[in-house]
Structure 1
Amino acid sequence: MSTTNTTNLADVARQAVDLARQKGASEAAATASRMREVEMQWRDGRLEKVSEATTRGLSVQLYVEGRYSAVSTSDLRPEALERFISDSVAMARVLARDEHRRLPEPELYAGRAAVDLSIEDPRQATLSSDDRQRFVRELEAGARSADTKGAILSVTTGFGDTHREIFRVSSNGFEGGLRGTQFVASADVSAQDPDGRRPEESDYAVARFFENLPDAASLGRRAGERALGRIGSTKGASAVITMAVDNRAAGRLVSMLLGPMSGGAIQQKRSFLDGKIGQKVGSELLALTDEPHVKRGLGSRLFDGEGIAARPMPLFEAGELRTYFIDTYYGRKLKARPTTGSASNLSWKLGSKAQDALLADLKEGVLVTSFLGGNSNAVTGDFSFGVQGFRVRGGKIAEPIGEMNISGNQMDLWKRLVAVGNDPYVNSAMRTPTLVFEGVQFAGV
């Protein structure tokens, strides 16, 4: 992270807060932002799309006579800003009162870490159109290099880079800003199955620094191999069997676990984890921490959206639930100390084995490589997902399977976690490793 803030963004945020106070707000916070995005898409040997956009904006939280309003604008001219704030304060006065809506207590701003998170890559500013086009062309070439039988029908590749700046000011003493970059590369491949189907697969990578993206040809080849690996996919037999979940796909399971940990879900009794602090909700292997200070991390931050200083926070220890994600609003409603309103990066207690070794250990089972639709009930913990992947036989990946479903309840599923890989998925802030669960219900033939 860079703490070098763009001066005019800081000035805009300060001006907005000052105006809000002048127009009658008892408290106010403002976040000014600027973002530049460049995107290039390449399809079957041709440039299909190029776009570049620079946007800027301002979001303001107003606290007026016990009432709360959140408003935003992209017109940052001084004369327009004054009119916008004046009108917004006037409109806030007609809203219902909410005694829980206030800025965070200033003590929550204290203790901000003095660390360099390294989330801004200076190379982003020097990338040329030729650099981007070369990358998407190499992605396609890599995907097609996996095809020795002419089975690939189409390849679409993409490359995008973003530079984002924000500066936040609160009327009760908070000021802070950040600058960050992000690079995204992807390849989507469709193939021809002998039975007439056209299986599709993809691969992608996300990084804060360009140098941390994988080689374009290698990334493209992986996408091609994934698509070709779907040829001949069949519906497997229904069974209760061991399930390994690929690190790229495991984030879907983790997201359905984190959602019910929000303060809103807890306060509104929409969570199967309500009242479970200190209780076992998973096996001894479920151990993860919210870690906001990971260098070059996709979710790294020094403060959250309210300005609360970011700190490492244990979520699960040996299967025990340790905390919830509680912002200041729901903290007041729950009479609980705020933690933070959302996750940053997840840090797992990793195992010692890579995926191939884990598959060798399980011998017979299913490797799930992606989830297709489905849902999870946050209130009950019940879930049902479509899945595709591969049968595992004799500890080796065997035939591809699809059109199957898994179902169960999260309070049972996480207690069935029997192995965690050593392979965190770096293209997500969740950084999920391969996860292995025993006795999972699969529905198929």
Structure 2
Amino acid sequence: MKDLLEIARDAAALARGRGADEAAVGAYRARHVEVAWRDGRLEKVSEATTRGLGLDLYVDGRYVSVGTSDLRPEALERFVDDSVALARTLAPDPHRRLPDPGLYQGQADLDLELEDPHHGALDAAERRRQAEAIETAARAVPGAHAILSVSTSVSDSLSESALVHTNGFEGRRRGTDFWIGAEVTVKDPDGRRPEEYASSGARHRSDVESPEVIGRRAGERAVGRIGSRKGESAVTALAVDNRASGRLVGALFAPLSASAIQQKRSYLEGKVGAEVGSALLDVRDDPHVRRGLGSRLYDGEGLAARPFPVFERGVLRSLYVDTYYGRKLGVPPTTGRSSNLAWKLGERSQAALLAELGDGVLVTGFLGGNSNGTTGDFSLGVRGFRVRAGALAEPVGEMNVSGNHLELWKRLVAVGNDPYRYSAMRTPTLVFEGVQLAGT
């Protein structure tokens, strides 16, 4: 069978031969294996291999984006013919065309180490052993008599892709990822059944935490939720755990897309160059992190990936601009989506930040709620712990934090030294002052 780059090249040439002025072709293949374990027994083993091809066609000023999973030559011919015919029925769009070839230039000469060369050594017996070991560790924590159920999972993937543009771009990449996790349910004396989880994942298996560590962490977190109560309403200091702070950061970054700006759906419209947070809000987009979950040498449009500042000392410096919406807005493209976030970190651990906090709340998770990308208003359910005299006290839940992002980020008063490794956002512990928390 042809490799993906050959398939993409053939499809691109076929599109040109059938009447397309330009074409972009992305071919992909992925294999995913997962073992699910629950309460002492194997629950599920799944293995799936997917492949497909995405085709962007530019025909007589018109544009269509289509996909297929049938890569047989005769099937691709019919698919391309039908797609070209479909494009000709659509309205013209003068902003739809392939990127300027100059944007493909300057790709970094780096080995990002996105593929674990030992991926093939992981077998079924080892996946099952890890899944079982996670549960054993969870059920060994102090207070484990309250545990009702433990569900664990072990998974790994190998993916590869190729991208070909008819105006000169070609690229291919391969990557692996490995994940383990556990979800633990406990019985509260009042009859409730709190749940907590822990997980770890990386490009290379050697960078994933051990099953014993993940199981113990999940068990301890779940047992720690026993006795949770709704806390008192207050305007208070709020520390957000590095695992949870991605929820807030996601709501800050989503309105940075050029599509949201152009469609008037962003509370950050017109804010480039303006101060939108405290001086501690200092974040770069860095696609070149070795083994990073969001790392890449080129983006989905073939644009050479480059680091750039997003926020500098609270000032918004850049948007996420793809070529289409860049043309509509009349601004140069950066990239259409984020890669890895690189924070200017503080020097203190979460424990040290809480000690300095004195009294407040540590948020360990957000539950439901919403954040309005157009206005910046948000209202989110939270759970976590009261902080008293700088130490963790009783667990709290069924509370709500609300406000507006343009105010919240100006209240950022501390950033931890602990970026969360298991997300491309790599968020650290964040501390805010004077936040409205609703409870009893």
Specify the TM-score bucket, using the shorter chain as the normaliser.
over 0.9
Query: For 1:68 and 1:430, how far apart are their aligned partners in 2?
Result: 33
1:142 match? 137
Deviation at 1:125, TM superposition (A): 1.4
Alignment of 1:192-211 (within 5 A): 192-211=187-206
Deviation at 1:149, TM superposition (A): 5.1
Q: Does 1:225 align with 2:220?
A: yes
**Cα deviations across residues 110-130 of structure 1 (Å, max 9, x unaligned)?**
000000000100222121100
**Cα deviations across residues 164-187 of structure 1 (Å, max 9, x unaligned)?**
000000000000010000011110
**Corresponding letter in the other structure for 2:418:** D
2:393 match? 398
Deviation at 1:215, TM superposition (A): 1.1
1:24 to 19, 24, 34: 19
Deviation at 1:148, TM superposition (A): 3.6
**Corresponding letter in the other structure for 2:32:** E
Q: Does 1:425 align with 2:420?
A: yes
Q: Does 1:157 align with 2:152?
A: yes
2:229 to 234, 245, 248: 234
Q: Give the secondary-structure state (helix, strand or coil) at the position aligned to 1:330.
A: helix
Alpha carbon RMSD of aligned pairs, Å?
0.8
- Number of equivalences: 440
**Cα deviations across residues 319-363 of structure 1 (Å, max 9, x unaligned)?**
000010000000000011011000000000000000000000000
1:79 match? 74
Q: Does 1:356 align with 2:351?
A: yes
1:47 match? 42
Which 5+ residue runs of structure 2 have no aligned equivalent?
Answer: none
Query: For 1:137 and 1:218, how far apart are their aligned partners in 2?
Result: 13
**Cα deviations across residues 189-231 of structure 1 (Å, max 9, x unaligned)?**
0001011111001011110000111111111100000100000
**Cα deviations across residues 267-319 of structure 1 (Å, max 9, x unaligned)?**
01111100001110000000000000000000000000000000001000000
Q: Does 1:121 align with 2:116?
A: yes
Q: Does 1:334 align with 2:329?
A: yes
Query: For 2:140 and 2:205, how far apart are their aligned partners in 1?
Result: 23
Is the contact between residue 32 and residue 157 of structure 2 (CA under 8 Å) also seen in structure 1?
yes
Query: For 1:153 and 1:276, how far apart are their aligned partners in 2?
Result: 50
Query: For 1:7 and 1:116, how far apart are their aligned partners in 2?
Result: 25
Q: Give the secondary-structure state (helix, strand or coil) at the position aligned to 1:84.
A: helix
**Cα deviations across residues 26-67 of structure 1 (Å, max 9, x unaligned)?**
000101101000000000000000000111110010001111
Q: Does 1:101 align with 2:96?
A: yes
Is the contact between residue 143 and residue 223 of structure 2 (CA under 8 Å) also seen in structure 1?
no
Identity, in percent, stands at 62
Query: For 1:281 and 1:352, how far apart are their aligned partners in 2?
Result: 23
Query: For 2:142 and 2:63, how far apart are their aligned partners in 1?
Result: 58
**Corresponding letter in the other structure for 2:64:** S
Q: Does 1:130 align with 2:125?
A: yes
Deviation at 1:147, TM superposition (A): 3.9
Is the contact between residue 179 and residue 199 of structure 2 (CA under 8 Å) also seen in structure 1?
yes
Q: Give the secondary-structure state (helix, strand or coil) at the position aligned to 1:98.
A: coil
Query: For 1:7 and 1:106, how far apart are their aligned partners in 2?
Result: 27
Alignment of 1:371-410 (within 5 A): 371-410=366-405
2:8 match? 13
**Cα deviations across residues 366-399 of structure 1 (Å, max 9, x unaligned)?**
0000000111111111100000000000100000
1:3 match? none
Is the contact between residue 34 and residue 47 of structure 2 (CA under 8 Å) also seen in structure 1?
yes
**Corresponding letter in the other structure for 2:297:** L
**TM-score (normalised: structure 1):** 0.98
1:285 match? 280
Query: For 1:185 and 1:96, how far apart are their aligned partners in 2?
Result: 47
Query: For 1:300 and 1:277, how far apart are their aligned partners in 2?
Result: 25
1:186 match? 181
Query: For 2:18 and 2:124, how far apart are their aligned partners in 1?
Result: 47
Alignment of 1:243-262 (within 5 A): 243-262=238-257
1:36 match? 31
Q: Does 1:367 align with 2:362?
A: yes
Q: Give the secondary-structure state (helix, strand or coil) at the position aligned to 1:311.
A: coil
**TM-score (normalised: structure 2):** 0.99
Q: Give the secondary-structure state (helix, strand or coil) at the position aligned to 1:194.
A: coil
**Corresponding letter in the other structure for 2:100:** E
Q: Does 1:322 align with 2:317?
A: yes
**Corresponding letter in the other structure for 1:90:** A
**Corresponding letter in the other structure for 1:151:** A
Query: For 1:126 and 1:19, how far apart are their aligned partners in 2?
Result: 39
Query: For 1:325 and 1:81, how far apart are their aligned partners in 2?
Result: 33
Query: For 1:356 and 1:42, how far apart are their aligned partners in 2?
Result: 33
